[in-house]
């Protein structure tokens, strides 16, 4: 029998999606499943984006440019100008989602066995992207007790070797909801300049900040224009996860020329989705004001509810729409399976994402879960009650 590659065997399953078969079986048994496992907003996509596709007068659905349609890249440039970041359309490569943007970026700057430093917990697919490129994640631990703030600069410098090529952060953070301050970014900037590294910042949740917290883009710092790579996407900003449109932004021409070779190899990003994304970028600020107000209400309900459950510890997210909670269980994956296989409260249960997959350190986060507050308040309240009673039953 032909053998599978070592890389294939090392490729991790998604902690967000691997329990889907258990959820589907629960639904077949007539159980309503509240999906807290995945960051799929329930907010409607802007109508102008949907209508742009409906009304497109297309005779041939042709390839687009490998770097993405010029009009879309110009719109992205104009969007960045609204918060005083000046990037030209030539400094933007449109990709099939932020996932492809990260794959192209890692592939462009790293060779097999090179190292990338990432504060953990981090977006679970960073593990997969690294395995796909044969590179090594060097994790730097951030603690729920410190609300997942950036570790001391000495901890970063202790991990840098001649194999280190980049530092990667997600700001605002998925899965923790942490928002890195301007001062923390300056610490990272000091490190990457000193050691001549790339700083990759995944900024797809830029709009979603709470409690007076504001987001600072790494593109605001001219002193690292050659080091900075921004990953962005329309998925969460405009509730367009299915469009699969993201982008790479950088002022480093050598990096962009290299990333373009990856873009050419996959031909082009999807044309219809680019039409929708171009229209979405005309969406007014009032759209975001309503959404942020709605997510903040949900955030308050969820965090208060989790804190009221005995034995549960939860971080205080200031951005995105996730939090990490520590549960009084030994293995959150077993608990998550049990919730779907063996438990329901009034024919309802919840699906949560075990947090072990958001770490690269073995056995880290085994009693933690990521919860996405992308459900309405009533469903969140039901979910909290299901978790509360479920923990009591599970302990028996």
Is there a contact between 322 and 371 (Cβ–Cβ < 8 Å)?
yes
Query: What ranges do the domains of the chain cover?
Result: 6-44+286-395, 58-280
What would the two tokens of residue 324 be? 């990490």
Three-state secondary structure call for residue 171:
coil
What percentage of the chain reaches a pLDDT higher than 90? 92
**Cis ω for the linkage preceding 96 (within 30 of 0):** no
In angstroms, rounded to a whole number, what is the distance separating the alpha carbons of residues 327 and 22?
Answer: 21
Please state which CATH number belongs to domain 6-44+286-395.
3.90.1150.10
* pLDDT value of position 12: 86
- Cα distances (Å, whole numbers) of residue 379 to 32, 89, 205: 11, 42, 23
* pLDDT value of position 116: 98
- 77-102: average pLDDT: 97
Q: Outline where the chain has alpha helix (H).
A: 6-10, 20-28, 47-54, 70-81, 97-109, 125-133, 153-159, 182-195, 253-265, 271-280, 285-307, 332-341, 377-395
Split at pLDDT 50, 70, 90, the class of 153 is: confident
- The tens digit of pLDDT for each residue in 293-312 reads 999 999 999 999 999 999 99
Is the sign of the CA dihedral 197, 198, 202, 206 positive or negative? positive
CA R_g for the chain: 21
In angstroms, rounded to a whole number, what is the distance separating the alpha carbons of residues 230 and 75?
Answer: 16
* pLDDT value of position 14: 86
Lowest mean pLDDT among 29-38, 134-143, 147-156, 345-354: 147-156
Is there a contact between 232 and 204 (Cβ–Cβ < 8 Å)?
yes
What would the two tokens of residue 39 be? 């960051």
What torsion do the CA atoms of 246, 147, 340, 9 make, to the nearest 10 degrees? 60
Whether the domain at 6-44+286-395 and the domain at 58-280 fall into the same CATH topology: no
In angstroms, rounded to a whole number, what is the distance separating the alpha carbons of residues 295 and 142?
Answer: 25
Residue with tokens 């359309």: 89
Is there a contact between 391 and 345 (Cβ–Cβ < 8 Å)?
no
List the beta bridge partners of residue 86: none
* pLDDT value of position 361: 93
- 34-59: average pLDDT: 94
Split at pLDDT 50, 70, 90, the class of 151 is: confident
* pLDDT value of position 269: 98
- 318-340: average pLDDT: 97
**Is CATH 3.40.640.10 correct for 58-280?**
yes
Spatial CA neighbour of 315 closest among 179, 178, 214, 204:
178
Residue with tokens 């790479």: 248
What would the two tokens of residue 387 be? 């978790």
Is there a contact between 270 and 66 (Cβ–Cβ < 8 Å)?
no
Angle between helix 125-133 and helix 97-109 axes, rounded to 10 deg: 40
Sequence-separated (6 or more) residues with CB below 8 Å from residue 194: none
In angstroms, rounded to a whole number, what is the distance separating the alpha carbons of residues 358 and 349?
Answer: 23
Spatial CA neighbour of 325 closest among 65, 161, 121, 128:
121
* pLDDT value of position 213: 96
In angstroms, rounded to a whole number, what is the distance separating the alpha carbons of residues 103 and 118?
Answer: 15
Is there a contact between 332 and 368 (Cβ–Cβ < 8 Å)?
yes
* pLDDT value of position 102: 97
In angstroms, rounded to a whole number, what is the distance separating the alpha carbons of residues 233 and 235?
Answer: 5
In angstroms, rounded to a whole number, what is the distance separating the alpha carbons of residues 206 and 214?
Answer: 9
- pTM (whole model) above 0.85: yes
- The tens digit of pLDDT for each residue in 182-201 reads 999 999 999 999 999 999 99
Provide the CA 197 distance to its chain's centre, in angstroms: 22
């Amino acid at each position: 029998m032909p053998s599978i590659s070592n890389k294939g065997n090392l490729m991790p399953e998604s902690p967000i999606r691997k329990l889907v078969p258990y959820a589907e079986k629960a639904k077949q048994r007539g159980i309503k499943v509240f999906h807290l496992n995945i960051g799929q907003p329930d907010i409607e996509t802007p109508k102008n984006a949907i209508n742009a596709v409906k009304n497109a007068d297309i005779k041939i659905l042709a390839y687009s440019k490998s770097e993405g349609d010029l009009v879309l890249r110009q719109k992205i440039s104009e969007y960045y100008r609204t918060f005083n970041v000046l990037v030209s359309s030539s400094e933007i490569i449109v990709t099939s989602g932020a996932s492809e943007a990260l794959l192209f970026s890692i592939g462009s700057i790293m060779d097999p066995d090179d190292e990338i430093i990432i504060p953990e917990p981090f977006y679970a697919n960073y593990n997969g992207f690294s395995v796909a490129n044969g590179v090594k994640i060097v994790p730097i631990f951030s603690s729920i007790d410190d609300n997942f703030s950036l570790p001391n600069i000495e901890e970063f410098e202790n991990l840098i070797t001649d194999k280190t090529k980049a530092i990667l952060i997600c700001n605002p953070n998925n899965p923790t909801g942490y928002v890195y301050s301007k001062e923390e970014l300056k610490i990272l900037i000091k490190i990457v300049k000193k050691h001549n590294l790339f700083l990759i910042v995944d900024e797809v949740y830029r709009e979603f900040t709470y409690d007076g917290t504001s987001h600072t883009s790494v593109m605001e710092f001219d002193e690292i224009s050659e080091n900075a790579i921004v990953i962005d996407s329309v998925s969460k900003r405009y509730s367009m996860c299915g469009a699969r449109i993201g982008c790479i932004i950088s002022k480093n021409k050598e990096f962009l020329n290299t990333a373009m070779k990856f873009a050419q190899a996959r031909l082009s990003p999807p044309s219809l989705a680019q039409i929708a994304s171009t229209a979405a970028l005309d969406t007014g600020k009032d759209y975001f004001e309503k959404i942020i107000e709605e997510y903040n209400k949900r955030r308050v309900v969820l965090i208060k509810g989790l804190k009221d459950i005995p034995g549960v510890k939860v971080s205080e997210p200031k951005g995105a729409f996730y939090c990490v909670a520590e549960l009084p269980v030994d293995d959150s994956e077993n608990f998550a399976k049990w919730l779907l296989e063996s438990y329901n409260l009034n024919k309802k249960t919840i699906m949560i994402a075990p947090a072990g997959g958001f770490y690269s350190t073995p056995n880290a986060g085994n009693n933690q879960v990521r919860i996405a507050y992308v459900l309405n308040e009533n469903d969140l309240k039901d979910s909290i009650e299901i978790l509360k009673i479920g923990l009591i039953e599970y302990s028996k």
